[in-house]
Structure 1
Amino acid sequence: MTPQDRAQNQAQDVLAPPAKAAIFLTVTIRDGKEQEARDALADVAGVTRAIGFRIPEAALTCVVGIGAHAWDRMYAAARPDGLHPFRPLAGDKHVAVSTPGDLLFHVRADRPDLCFELGRQLMVLFAGLVDTVDEVHGFRYWDQRDLLGFVDGTESPTDAAESGPAALVGFEGSGDLTYAGASYVIVQKYLHDLDTWDRLSVEEQELVIGRKKLSDIELPDSVKPDDSHVELNTITDPDGTERDIVRDNMPFGAVGTGEFGTYFIGYAADPGVTEEMLRNMFLGRDPGKHDRILDFSTAVTGCLFFVPPADFLEDPEPFLAQPGSTAADGSLGIGRLAHSAGRSDHA
């Protein structure tokens, strides 16, 4: 089996195509309920299958992410290489906040009723174990546009040959192969000031984003500002290779209260790629030149999660018993091998 096959076979549904509806649930685990929450994670896949089996064409999936503090409490093992709490960023004008989150449930399907039912059953499964700190119901809007009116996620890779290396650990035989098929996901909820945005002309909006609004074609370099959203979210290696992440952003809103926004969710084999994008946005690639989209969109949440291979959720011990999986304090966690050697803590 090639590294690509191994990674894809072991992965959760990270690479599922964009759906028409989604629910993003972020929860914290109650003190003393860590073992019960760990046990409940083993049942998530079965609950998802039971609901999705009735309407298979709706492609119901659920991706589970685990936060750094939850990992420390539930598994007592060295964290995966890229797992750490979300790092807040304070620019001259805008802030990327870090907010609580132990577990992320990314539920998606082509029908909102399936998302709702799975979300409800997940809360039944984890009743008394967790507290919900954020819940967002997303929907596809027009022709893949966000509420600012621009197509969202144009550069997100869709072919497995491109999305696999971008999102999955070990896809090309590199990274921590103990967790081949894993991913890292960063989520942020952005609230839009649509009244101010709509006062801009279409041409002004296009300069903020870096694309034409109607055609979605990227502006020429001679026209595209260096503080545009597209420019600051383009990450390249020293050799010129462009680094990608897999996005599954969705709009959300409440018309009665006037709350409108975009839920950003980016999967990456290396969370450092997404973090570099965020540094460019909030701090500026050049001093004082933040992403202009932040003048109209405010990040009100920020979390980083590890998305383990699918089998890990049902039985983590074979993964935790690999060399390099000692507890953060240097002692052996449950089921760890005596010869394990600890990795560094990225907190």
Structure 2
Amino acid sequence: MTDASGDRVPIEAQSVLAPLTRSAIFLVVTIREGTAAADIARDAVTGVSDLVKSVGFRDLDARLSCVVGIGAAAWPLLTSQPMPAQLRPFTPIGGPVHTAVSTPGDLFFHIRADRFDLCFEFERLLLSALDGAVDVADEVTGFRYFDARDLLGFVDGTANPVGSELVGDVIVGDEDAPYRGGSYVTVQRYVHDMAAWRALSSEQQEAIMGRTKADNVELDDAPAGTQSAHKTLATITDPDGTEHGILRDNMPFGQPGAGEFGTYFTGYARSPQTIDRMLLRMFVGFPAGAYDRLLDFSTPLTGSTYFVPSLPVLEGLAVEAPDLT
């Protein structure tokens, strides 16, 4: 496997590039204070691959996987190795009306399968392994909705890179050689005001999203300097025309009885700056003030960023433990 420049990428990368599944659990935890808690957390994350095998053997066709992300505050607790070059906490982004909030998170587990029972069993065993070492900061169960649509009724993830672009946009290369094969992931939990959204006409919804609702056809961009659609603001292009893609593995979640309807945003990228630029355009606007009108109906309740190390680096944490005494 190679990246966009032709550099080979380690085949030992975590399952970041795995296809979309029917079910997922998004789990964010914080590590408690003390050496003992750090040791338990390290043992758990270095044993994730074995746990996937133990649970996944029940139905190999269900494609159980788990991606592990490590936050900036947790990195020095788990390893004496230098921090990945671009790992830092998620920074809040305040716009004229809406804010992308930053919330606590030391470890992120993206658990996926085509069967929810496998996701459930994996999470149960994982939290048992982490018992006494962490507190759950966020836990969301996602599901595939019809033909990969969000609860707003639009197909999600249409702009994901494919083919050789996928590796080049998502997987770290020689720019940070010790961590080649890794990736960065930013996660946010959005809740939707469905009553307000449904009060709009289909044409108004399509203008906000920048795509047709029924057949997912991209609409023309608005004139420069005017209110841009979500699909335009979420596209990052350099002045020379170079486009920087991200891999979205978003999923709907909700509880109709509780009036909860949302989207869990999961964005993987070779550089977290790509997602930072996207969110800046959405929340502040491009031009400034012309923010993403989708935010009038979708509110982020969480926000955190993690580095997803390659499997050798992840499993090597066990022999690179720092001295926290």
TM range (shorter): over 0.9
Task: Give the Cα–Cα distance (whole angstroms) in 2 for the partners of residues 2 and 289 of structure 1.
Answer: 38
CA contact (8 A) 1:10 1:180 kept: no
The Cα of 1:6 is off from its aligned counterpart by 4.6
Instruction: Please name the residue that 1:185 is paired with.
Output: 185
The Cα of 1:238 is off from its aligned counterpart by 2.1
Residue 314 in structure 1 maps to residue 315 in structure 2: yes
Instruction: Please name the residue that 1:34 is paired with.
Output: 38
Instruction: Please name the residue that 1:238 is paired with.
Output: 239
Match of 2:143 among 135, 139, 148: 139
Instruction: Please name the residue that 1:205 is paired with.
Output: 205
Task: Give the Cα–Cα distance (whole angstroms) in 1 for the partners of residues 258 and 31 of structure 2.
Answer: 30
The Cα of 1:36 is off from its aligned counterpart by 2.3
Instruction: Please name the residue that 1:17 is paired with.
Output: 19
The amino acid that maps onto 2:24 is A
The Cα of 1:221 is off from its aligned counterpart by 2.6
Q: Percent identity?
A: 52
Task: Give the Cα–Cα distance (whole angstroms) in 1 for the partners of residues 33 and 192 of structure 2.
Answer: 35
Instruction: Please name the residue that 1:83 is paired with.
Output: 87
RMSD of the alignment, in Å? 1.9
Instruction: Please name the residue that 2:119 is paired with.
Output: 115
Instruction: Please name the residue that 1:289 is paired with.
Output: 290
The amino acid that maps onto 1:165 is G
CA contact (8 A) 2:227 2:291 kept: no
Structure 2, unmatched stretches of 5+, are: none
Task: Give the Cα–Cα distance (whole angstroms) in 2 for the partners of residues 284 and 101 of structure 1.
Answer: 27
CA contact (8 A) 2:40 2:129 kept: no
CA contact (8 A) 1:226 1:232 kept: no
1:7 is paired with a residue whose SS is coil
1:37 is paired with a residue whose SS is helix
2:150 is paired with a residue whose SS is coil
CA contact (8 A) 2:222 2:228 kept: no
CA contact (8 A) 1:283 1:290 kept: yes
The Cα of 1:47 is off from its aligned counterpart by 0.6
The amino acid that maps onto 1:94 is H
Match of 1:53 among 51, 54, 57: 57
The Cα of 1:317 is off from its aligned counterpart by 7.0
CA contact (8 A) 1:89 1:282 kept: yes
Task: Give the Cα–Cα distance (whole angstroms) in 2 for the partners of residues 217 and 226 of structure 1.
Answer: 19
Instruction: Please name the residue that 1:345 is paired with.
Output: none
Task: Give the Cα–Cα distance (whole angstroms) in 2 for the partners of residues 271 and 114 of structure 1.
Answer: 30
The Cα of 1:7 is off from its aligned counterpart by 2.1
Instruction: Please name the residue that 2:68 is paired with.
Output: 64
Task: Give the Cα–Cα distance (whole angstroms) in 1 for the partners of residues 102 and 241 of structure 2.
Answer: 31
Instruction: Please name the residue that 1:104 is paired with.
Output: 108
The Cα of 1:241 is off from its aligned counterpart by 1.4
TM-score, with structure 2 as normaliser: 0.93
2:50 is paired with a residue whose SS is helix
Task: Give the Cα–Cα distance (whole angstroms) in 2 for the partners of residues 185 and 275 of structure 1.
Answer: 11
CA contact (8 A) 2:154 2:213 kept: yes
Instruction: Please name the residue that 1:149 is paired with.
Output: 153
Structure 1, unmatched stretches of 5+, are: 322-332, 335-347
Task: Give the Cα–Cα distance (whole angstroms) in 2 for the partners of residues 92 and 221 of structure 1.
Answer: 22
The Cα of 1:119 is off from its aligned counterpart by 0.9
Residue 167 in structure 1 maps to residue 167 in structure 2: no
Measured against aligned partners, the alpha-carbon deviations of 1:225-247 in whole angstroms (never above 9, x if no partner) come to 64210110111122101110011
Task: Give the Cα–Cα distance (whole angstroms) in 1 for the partners of residues 272 and 66 of structure 2.
Answer: 20
Measured against aligned partners, the alpha-carbon deviations of 1:85-104 in whole angstroms (never above 9, x if no partner) come to 00001111000000000000
The Cα of 1:314 is off from its aligned counterpart by 1.6
Instruction: Please name the residue that 1:92 is paired with.
Output: 96
1:187 is paired with a residue whose SS is strand
Aligned length in residues: 318
The amino acid that maps onto 2:175 is G
TM-score, with structure 1 as normaliser: 0.88
Task: Give the Cα–Cα distance (whole angstroms) in 2 for the partners of residues 212 and 176 of structure 1.
Answer: 40
